[in-house]
Amino acid sequence: MTTFDFLIQGLGMAMDPMILLYALIGVTLGTAVGVLPGIGPALTVALLLPVTYGLDPAGSLIMFAGIYYGGMYGGSTTSILLNTPGESASIVTALEGNKMARAGRGGPALATAAIGSFVAGLIATLALAFLAPHIVKLALIFGPREYFALMMLAFVTVSAAFGDSAMKGLTSLFVGLFLALVGIDQLTGQARLSFGVPELLDGVEVTTLAVALFAIGEALFVASHGTMAADKIEAVKGSVWMTRADWARSWKPWLRGTAIGFPIGAMPAGGAEIGTLLSYAAEKRLAKNPEEFGHGAIEGVAGPEAANNASAAGTLVPLLTLGLPTSATAAILLAGFQQFGLQPGPLLFVTSPQLVWGLIASLLIANVMLLVLNLPLIRLWVKLLTIPKPWLYAGILLFATLGTIGMNPSPVELAMLLTFGIMGFAMRVHGYPIAPVVVGLILGPMAEQQLRRALSIAQGDWTTLVSTPIAAGILLAAALALVVPMILRLRGRGEVLSRLAADED
């Protein structure tokens, strides 16, 4: 049988009413936990595992996968409307999405996120079905030096997207890199900058920092301006739905986001955040009107949202084909498989083809369900913005605090949230961009660890970093991305570039 036959067979199984019900429960729960702060898909699946012990394995696994996909959908909602990213994969969405929401374009922002997620989920799930064995080979070629090169590329392209006020952008980035040093050093087990506080040993949680800088910092900023705040939030301006122009500007970012997110999600050390960051940088670079970035460019929502859903499907590639869990949720999905006596890995496609293809087919159906579920909700969500400002920001503060405590019940975490919130306020007052801090915290440790791993394996030989064509190629691309804009600037095109590099805040 060909892949296509298997998929048709899987669709037959997935159309079973009970299986459809499981998928529906999964996507509904997933959307809910994506929206709620502090509860992620990983925790939800972990909570449900014991409950499903006696249930049908296929149905349960389909429900879990539905939760995973649904969580990626739901995460964008709070990012866009409340500037409170519930998960690290939707941090980038907040950059443009919240600006759109405040300009009365929350509806189109949510719509492009939902439809982009659908498109990406659809394409990536099909890619999972047809390309998994090839993608996984690519993923295994990536070792520490290739990851390090990829991180360099991300640093360069993403930093370029921060603005031409290089001084302020870089200052923010280095604050992030500094925060990234806090905690136990992965490679030697030694504590750095933890000052004997056990909660600091695991470093600064990315979502805590993002929520603090984005949401708390902004709430303080708004409060400090009192009633004189000029920028009135408009709940809805124009249509709630996407206009023709929105569609025209969204479809390419959806496809590019998918193309970036899927392979990076499939890499064991890739993760969803890198994909969203690279997608954002790519959209900013390719946009016809890059000056809109920072003021609510729809491309900046469409691309990263597609990328994070594509990476969720990407994560399933190493999980199903190699038995490698590459995210917390994937690790729990693996536990779910094992609970039913199934071992994901090279043999799963051979030993339980029905289950695998049923699962893949169900993901396609779950994806349609998510779209049907989420589009009508947009009308309801945008109403949130009609709440009077003091109430809205009080709500955001409550939401952000609950989310942080929910994720990590500790007073130290709360203190960090407030400290970083005040830092976010100060940065806003002085006009420092905020996103680079978060980017530094995400990319810093990855780049450091991969570099040190690469050097450790090569016993300190620096040439190892360029010893494979892939690593050398990516590093070359990074170098070009750094040097070419400089040359352009020297040749008198600086004005264009500085317009290009609008501050994101």
Residues of the shown chain interacting with other proteins in the complex, contacts defined by CB under 8 A: 42-43, 45-46, 49-50, 53, 139-144, 184-191, 196, 198-199, 201-202, 268-269, 318, 322-326, 328-332, 335, 338-339, 341, 343-347, 408-410, 453, 456-457, 459
**Pick 153 or 322: Cβ nearer other proteins:** 322
By C-alpha distance, which of 151, 143, 187, 153 is closest to 464?
143
**Pick 32 or 470: Cβ nearer other proteins:** 470
Helical (H) or strand (E) element with 56: none
| Shortest distance, position 489 Cβ to other proteins, whole Å | 39
| Shortest distance, position 209 Cβ to other proteins, whole Å | 16
| Shortest distance, position 449 Cβ to other proteins, whole Å | 8
| Residue 227 in tokens | 């009633």
Helical (H) or strand (E) element with 358: helix 353-383
| Shortest distance, position 25 Cβ to other proteins, whole Å | 19
| Residue 200 in tokens | 């600091």
**Pick 295 or 452: Cβ nearer other proteins:** 452
| Shortest distance, position 404 Cβ to other proteins, whole Å | 14
| Shortest distance, position 481 Cβ to other proteins, whole Å | 26
**Pick 107 or 203: Cβ nearer other proteins:** 203
Which amino acid, one-letter code, is at 1?
Answer: M
**Pick 15 or 457: Cβ nearer other proteins:** 457
Residues 6+ apart with CB under 8 A from 177: 440, 441, 444
| Residue 347 in tokens | 């043999």
- Cα–Cα distances in Å, from 177 out to 78, 174, 302, 346, 437? 26, 5, 28, 38, 7
**Pick 172 or 326: Cβ nearer other proteins:** 326
**Pick 271 or 303: Cβ nearer other proteins:** 271
Residue-by-residue DSSP string for 110-151: HHHHHHHHHHHHHHHHHHHHHHHHHHHHHHHH--HHHHHHHH
| Residue 505 in tokens | 């805040």
| Shortest distance, position 267 Cβ to other proteins, whole Å | 8
Sign for the CA dihedral angle at 18, 312, 295, 427 comes to positive
